[in-house]
Amino acid sequence: MLRVFRNWLCLFLISFLLFSQIENVTAQDDPVNTTQIWLFWHYNHFFKPGFRYIHDVGYRQETPHDSWTRIHYRPGVQYSVGSIVDLTGGVGFWYTFQKDLPNTFEIRPWQGVKVNWPHLGRIDFDHYARLEERFNLDLVDAGQWTFALRGRYRFNFTVPINNKGIMDKTLFAKINAEFFIDLGKTIEERYVNNRRISMGLGYRFNPKWRLELLYVIEKSKALSSDGYKVNSHIIQFRLRTYILPQM
């Protein structure tokens, strides 16, 4: 009983800190508020022990004015070092449609380290740090590439609700916070990300399929040289597919 109480107290404290961050994000002086919808499909194929092929396909749109739309495809490989550490790497391709700014195309190689720790009762934590090399092409000024480095760190925890672990027919809660930092030059773009907080529910149907619905608050500034603050309120749908060796 004491262990259960300690685990739920830990969950409460972390949730409180993240909600405090939300208050921080939304309580700025005269921010511009936007709404967006994001649709993602994540694919995981375990093709040999310790290795999996991963990719995600995404669609993002600002609503209701449709002034900004982004699509991406991000393939990669993940290698598990034991049961706690995962090494990831790949390259992403991003295309952004904009009504009042030039459309852009970006090639984004990335490398990451994920640490799946600690595990407190039902609560599973993970930390994910990534480095991105961003090659951004302005499609109005053809041939004009901009290069920038960006670091990302995401803290996440998942809690099963109706079972003791994430198994078939499990409803689970998911909360995470992600922080972005430009390492040197910043790319001139509509939303220069600063931090992102997500919370919502997911459901595991079987070993192959999961579905997640999240509410995301993202703090950005509009254009790196302008710097006025933007709070984006986002509804995010994520479909996850897992192809296991025995399947």
Instruction: Please write the tens of the pLDDT for every residue from 36-88.
Output: 999 999 999 999 999 999 999 999 999 887 789 999 999 999 999 999 999 99
Residue 168 domain boundaries: 2-243
Position of tokens 């393939």? 75
Q: Counting every residue, how long is the chain?
A: 247
* Cα(52)–Cα(89) distance, integer angstroms: 11
Instruction: Please write the tens of the pLDDT for every residue from 30-44.
Output: 778 999 999 999 999
| Beta carbons within 8 Å of 1's beta carbon, 6+ residues apart | none
* Cα(161)–Cα(174) distance, integer angstroms: 10
pLDDT at residue number 193: 83
Position of tokens 């916070």? 177
pTM of the model: 0.88
Domain count, the chain: 1
* Cα(95)–Cα(71) distance, integer angstroms: 6
CATH number of 233's domain: 2.40.160
Instruction: Please write the tens of the pLDDT for every residue from 166-182.
Output: 999 999 999 999 999 99
Backbone angles phi, psi at 115, to 5 degrees: -115, 115
Query: Residues of the chain with pLDDT > 70: what percent?
Result: 84
